[in-house]
Chains A and B, each alone.
Chain A
Amino acid sequence: MFDISIVFDYIGPLLEGLWTTAWISGISIFIGLILGVALALTRNGKHPLWSRLVIVYVSFFRGTPLLVQLAIVFYFLPLAGIFVPSIVAAILVLSMNTAAFQSEILRGGFRTLPKGQEEAAWSYGITQWQCFFHIKLPQVLRKTLPSLVNETIDIIKNSALISTIAVTDLMRIVQSYSSTTYRPLEFFITAGALYLILTCTVSYVGQRIEQKLIQHQGA
């Protein structure tokens, strides 16, 4: 018998899991953004060796499954004598993975900026760092916002895989309750609904920010 009310007995732990999923995804996206900017700049930079290394990095993280990346980091770190809690390994892998995707998004953004802007900034005596933080980065973030929001949604969905390395995120909690109560249907539908709330919220907030930016530009 299908009886969704069983889920409400476990609503506390489920929401806790949702929170874990949310903050791990949030931190990973943020670290990934910083790393992604660095990667994009290195890739577009003048040093062929570094730029080649970034290509290899991006190719690896975009060309292999996240599940495999998680397994590699989770099992290889102890071999290298590094012991970290699984939650740290999860954040590490998610950040490195999204950094590769974000760097490609941002790289496209940086390329759309006309070179004249930079030259104009130089002739005004603006330093390279100032030019980057006050002129280039804000424009690129604005332009690539829709893709970055999509990437955030992807990371939230992909974060379900960190349950396989024993992080008690939403997926892990749902799995354990569905097997102890023998109610997989109810619990997995709930999991879907909770993920949906998270992803829909992100996409809604993204659209609102986008609208605000368009209004701001129009004024």
Chain B
Amino acid sequence: MELSIFIEYWPLLLSGLIFTLKVCSSSLIMGLLLGIFLYLFSTIKNRLTFMIYRAYLTIFRGTPLLVQVYLIFYGGPLLGITLSAAEVGILGMGLYVAAYFSEIYRSGFNSLPKGQIEAAQNLGFSKRQILTHIQLPQILGLIVPSLTNQSIILIKESAILSIISVPEITYAAVKMASETYSVVEPYIFLAGAYWVINFVVSRFGNWVELKSTHYLATN
């Protein structure tokens, strides 16, 4: 172990770490919002739109993320869409994770008995009140663990963006390994960095879960 090489390379690794955090948070936000949109799209009572929804899910959940990213990266310019590698990464991961998020939302909303909503309607609750006061508080506690899990999976998968030369942390570590000819230190550091990020995310998820199920603890 030669730890002194970190003295020279820590700025590169740090900027890689920040880039990973940026790319992941951007694509997670995109996925969370697009997922809501997809979920709403799936609730339209129409056979055609539901088939389109199923097709979206099958394609994005049934093929490797690497294939999807390559398709946007190399195929995009041929269709006149030129994006930077980082933009390709965010777009690719956002589209990919939205498919999973949408299904998580769907399972959450489906878990509530229909009678609740009917009862609320009878009591004169507006649609918006039903959503914010009845549906969301109950669903949040249910779906937060799944959302956290999926976010962790996405953060790990973001390592493949190094293949299309997004300057994130894996890219930085690979560069360091090839320049210093030492593989042990960069890769151990890399594994540790991902582990720490995911540990923090899972703790954050637990905290959100605790907050969102707070009303249960008080009774």
The answer to whether the Cβ of A192 comes within 8 Å of any Cβ in the partner chain is yes
Bin the interface of chain A by size: 35 or more
The answer to whether the Cβ of A161 comes within 8 Å of any Cβ in the partner chain is yes
A68 contacts B159, C-beta separation under 8 Å: yes
The answer to whether the Cβ of A191 comes within 8 Å of any Cβ in the partner chain is yes
**Chain B residues with CB under 8 A of A2:** 78
**Chain A residues with CB under 8 A of B183:** 71, 75-76, 79
**Chain B residues with CB under 8 A of A153:** 62
In the assembled complex, the CB of B161 is this many whole angstroms from the nearest CB of chain A, namely 10
The answer to whether the Cβ of A117 comes within 8 Å of any Cβ in the partner chain is no
Closest chain A residue, CB of each to CB of B65: A157
Distance between Cα atoms of A66 and B160 in the complex (Å): 9
On whether A157 and B64 interact (CB within 8 A), knowing A64-B156, A68-B187, the answer reads: yes
Stretch at the interface among A27-35, A85-93, A105-113, A193-201: A193-201
B184 contacts A79, C-beta separation under 8 Å: yes
The answer to whether the Cβ of A137 comes within 8 Å of any Cβ in the partner chain is no
A68 contacts B78, C-beta separation under 8 Å: no
A192 contacts B68, C-beta separation under 8 Å: yes
- The 8 Å CB contact of B70, one of A71, A158, A184, A199, is A184
A65 contacts B62, C-beta separation under 8 Å: no
In the assembled complex, the CB of A152 is this many whole angstroms from the nearest CB of chain B, namely 12
- The 8 Å CB contact of B62, one of A158, A191, A196, is A196
A68 contacts B62, C-beta separation under 8 Å: no
* Secondary structure dominating the interface of A: helix
On whether A75 and B187 interact (CB within 8 A), knowing A63-B198, A195-B63, the answer reads: yes
On whether A72 and B59 interact (CB within 8 A), knowing A185-B71, A195-B64, the answer reads: no
Distance between Cα atoms of A59 and B198 in the complex (Å): 10
Could you list 16 examples of A-B contacts with CB < 8 Å? A63-B194, A63-B199, A64-B194, A65-B194, A68-B191, A72-B188, A72-B191, A79-B183, A161-B66, A171-B64, A171-B66, A188-B67, A188-B71, A189-B71, A189-B75, A195-B64
New A-B contacts (20) at CB < 8 Å, excluding given A189-B71, A191-B67: A63-B152, A65-B194, A67-B170, A71-B187, A72-B187, A75-B177, A76-B183, A153-B62, A160-B66, A161-B66, A161-B160, A171-B67, A178-B70, A184-B71, A188-B67, A191-B63, A192-B71, A195-B62, A195-B64, A199-B63
The answer to whether the Cβ of B204 comes within 8 Å of any Cβ in the partner chain is no
The answer to whether the Cβ of B117 comes within 8 Å of any Cβ in the partner chain is no
In the assembled complex, the CB of B163 is this many whole angstroms from the nearest CB of chain A, namely 7
On whether A178 and B194 interact (CB within 8 A), knowing A65-B159, A67-B159, A68-B170, the answer reads: no
Complex interface residues of chain B between 42 and 75 (CB less than 8 A to chain A): 58-59, 62-68, 70-71, 74-75
B64 contacts A164, C-beta separation under 8 Å: no
Complex interface residues of chain A between 160 and 185 (CB less than 8 A to chain B): 160-161, 163-164, 171, 174-175, 178, 184-185
Which of B59, B74, B194 has most chain A Cβ within 10 Å? Answer: B74
**Chain A residues with CB under 8 A of B157:** 65
Number of residue pairs spanning A and B whose beta carbons lie under 8 angstroms apart: 109
Complex interface residues of chain A between 33 and 73 (CB less than 8 A to chain B): 59-60, 63-69, 71-72
Distance between Cα atoms of A157 and B156 in the complex (Å): 14
- The 8 Å CB contact of A192, one of B59, B152, B177, B194, is B59
**Chain A residues with CB under 8 A of B70:** 175, 178, 184, 188, 191
The 9 closest A-B pairs by CB, nearest first: A184-B74, A65-B159, A160-B64, A185-B75, A75-B183, A65-B156, A63-B195, A67-B159, A192-B63
Distance between Cα atoms of A52 and B59 in the complex (Å): 39
- The 8 Å CB contact of B184, one of A76, A157, A163, A195, is A76
